Structure 1
Amino acid sequence: MGILLQAADTATQLAATAAPAIEKISLWELLAKGGWLMYPLYLLLIVALFIFFERLIAIRKASKIDSSFMPIIRDNILSGNIKGAETLARNTNNPVSRMISKGLKRIGKPIDVIEKSMESVGRQEMYNMERNLNILSLIAGIAPMFGFLGTIIGMVQLFYEINSSGNFELSTIAGGIYVKMITSATGLIIGLIAFIFHNYLSTQVDKTANKMEIAATEFIDILQEPTK
């Protein structure tokens, strides 16, 4: 009985010794295995990050509107101090002030003419805020496609090598497949990041556009109030 137990322990030790150690790999080493198509994906990520932060700063700057701006404009208009209102609007740098400035220059003309001129400025300001957001949308669409292309190219190369060498070992095939899937995973992650960036910035633009609409409506209402 003791001999059998000793033999079992020896067999267990031999099996543990023979079992291959699991190879650990860092994230950067894993990404490096993705091949040359990882570089276009890196470039798309850099472009997405640059556009996001550049637009975020610009949109936040555009959305900062002093709460006292419209009350001061109203007081100046009702008191007949149009020049003072124009000076305030001209010296304030945001989409609302530029739209109001255009409306002030049209005072004396029919209301519909004033509204159209302000709408024209509003559309231009919206275009300025939305500039380059379409690139984020494009990256969200093409990054996964780039990743999938890298996987397809890698799989073709893998099966060509297997066919040429005749090596059909499961470890070789599995190892090759997981390496080729790296580009697909990276492309999907970059596409998701760009999609989130685009939707977040679009929401901020919509909030600023709502402020512009409120200010324009308030301005038209002021023009229809009796002057002091």
Structure 2
Amino acid sequence: MDHLFLIRIIVDGGIMMVPLIAFSVVGLAAIIERGFALRPSKVLCIDRLIELEGLIKQGYLEEAYNMVKDEKSPMLRIVKVALLHSGRDKHEIKEAIENAGRLELPELQKNFTLLNTLAVISPLVGLLGTVLGMMQVFSASMNDGGFNMAILSQGISQALITTVTGLIVAVPCLVFYNLYFRMTDNLTNEMEKYSLTLMNLIIRASEQSRQGIKIELPAAQTSTKEAVSKKSEITVSDTAHLYINGKEVNPNDLLPALQALFKSSSDQTLTIRADGKVAHAHVVHVMDIAKQAGFLRLSIAAAKPPSGHAEAP
């Protein structure tokens, strides 16, 4: 019965009900789409930002970039731009972030114009349908030679259907347009806050990387035993075992062992040896501990078997 009543209303509303129904479908789709797109978890990705903050604080800018390079979140895309400009002047980084933010704003406001347009034109289309319906009613009454109040009232009632429908379509569109506009303002403010924080961290990490640890390319290997013996070396095996100058060290004792080595070292240079089988994370971990131990110069070299351990045949 309800379905038949709804169909009857649509039919009685006349031809202008067709665009109004189309407006309602399009408006509902836009409201649902923006509702999912503007979720803070999708726009800001707070969990990922916390991870990025930790990496950047430790100076792992490359690892941070690898984390965000394929992300689709607006906030993480801005972070990617900031990381791409790491090492440059503060004003250049800030300008790059601002430009990236301006590019993301239209994406956040997608379908806003559509909702606003539907909120404006739906009542007008409904009013047009009512006017056309009234014209038909009066025209039919005049052709019958007089006014029948019962028929006239019924005709006016039917003509007003389009006005009511237009308002039903317009009100939700206008409400959600204003709601989403406010949500976008709040998200933009949060993005600016996080961008400023990460920008300062990136600048600080870039300065530390220039002034602190210096990663040197491995020099040509010398064949003299004397040259090798003067160097401080740590070898990371493919089985995650650690050797300092050929002597195996427990990973839990790595920091005090490196601190002792640093105190006894004359040039304060540490050579880290590893091969392609070693996980990158293990090498980065060793570099971090070496920095804590006091080594400011690190040299990366290909791994060689530690003393006392023969190579596998």
Q: TM-score range by the shorter chain?
A: 0.7 to 0.9
Q: What is the one-letter code of the residue matched to 1:29?
A: R
Cα separation, 2, equivalents of 1:214 and 1:33 = 54
Please report how far the alpha carbon of residue 150 of structure 1 lies from its aligned counterpart in structure 2 after TM superposition. Answer: 0.6
Matches within 5 A, 1:7-156: 26-60=5-39, 62-67=42-47, 69-156=48-135
Q: What's the counterpart of residue 195 of structure 2? A: 216
Please report how far the alpha carbon of residue 40 of structure 1 lies from its aligned counterpart in structure 2 after TM superposition. Answer: 0.7
- Gapped regions of structure 2 (runs ≥ 5): 213-313
Please report how far the alpha carbon of residue 91 of structure 1 lies from its aligned counterpart in structure 2 after TM superposition. Answer: 4.4
Q: What is the one-letter code of the residue matched to 2:92?
A: V
Q: Is the 8 A contact 1:139 1:191 kept in 2?
A: yes
In structure 1, the residue corresponding to 2:45 is in which secondary structure? coil
Cα separation, 2, equivalents of 1:74 and 1:40 = 50
TM-superposition CA deviations, 1:129-174 (whole Å, max 9, x none): 2122201110100000000001111111111111121231221211
Identity across matched positions, percent: 26
The number of equivalent residue pairs is: 203
Q: What is the one-letter code of the residue matched to 2:11?
A: A
Q: What is the one-letter code of the residue matched to 1:38?
A: M
The structure having more radius of gyration, on CA atoms, is 2
- TM-score of the superposition, structure 1-length normalised? 0.81
Cα separation, 2, equivalents of 1:48 and 1:213 = 30
Q: What is the one-letter code of the residue matched to 2:35?
A: L
Q: What's the counterpart of residue 187 of structure 1? A: 166
CA RMSD of aligned residues (A): 2.0
Please report how far the alpha carbon of residue 63 of structure 1 lies from its aligned counterpart in structure 2 after TM superposition. Answer: 2.4
Moved more, 38-47 or 117-126: 117-126
- TM-score of the superposition, structure 2-length normalised? 0.60
Q: What is the one-letter code of the residue matched to 2:43?
A: S
| Structure with higher helix content | 1
Cα separation, 2, equivalents of 1:77 and 1:64 = 17
- Gapped regions of structure 1 (runs ≥ 5): 1-24
Please report how far the alpha carbon of residue 71 of structure 1 lies from its aligned counterpart in structure 2 after TM superposition. Answer: 3.7
Please report how far the alpha carbon of residue 225 of structure 1 lies from its aligned counterpart in structure 2 after TM superposition. Answer: 4.2
Q: Which has the bigger relative contact order, CA under 8 A and spacing at least 6?
A: 1
One of 124, 137, 144 as aligned partner of 1:158: 137
Q: Is the 8 A contact 1:140 1:195 kept in 2?
A: yes
In structure 2, the residue corresponding to 1:159 is in which secondary structure? helix
Q: What is the one-letter code of the residue matched to 1:66?
A: I
Q: What is the one-letter code of the residue matched to 2:158?
A: V
One of 164, 167, 179 as aligned partner of 2:146: 167
Q: What's the counterpart of residue 295 of structure 2? A: none
Cα separation, 1, equivalents of 2:42 and 2:53 = 21
Cα separation, 1, equivalents of 2:50 and 2:9 = 59
Q: Is the 8 A contact 1:62 1:208 kept in 2?
A: no
Moved more, 162-171 or 113-122: 162-171
Cα separation, 1, equivalents of 2:42 and 2:183 = 10
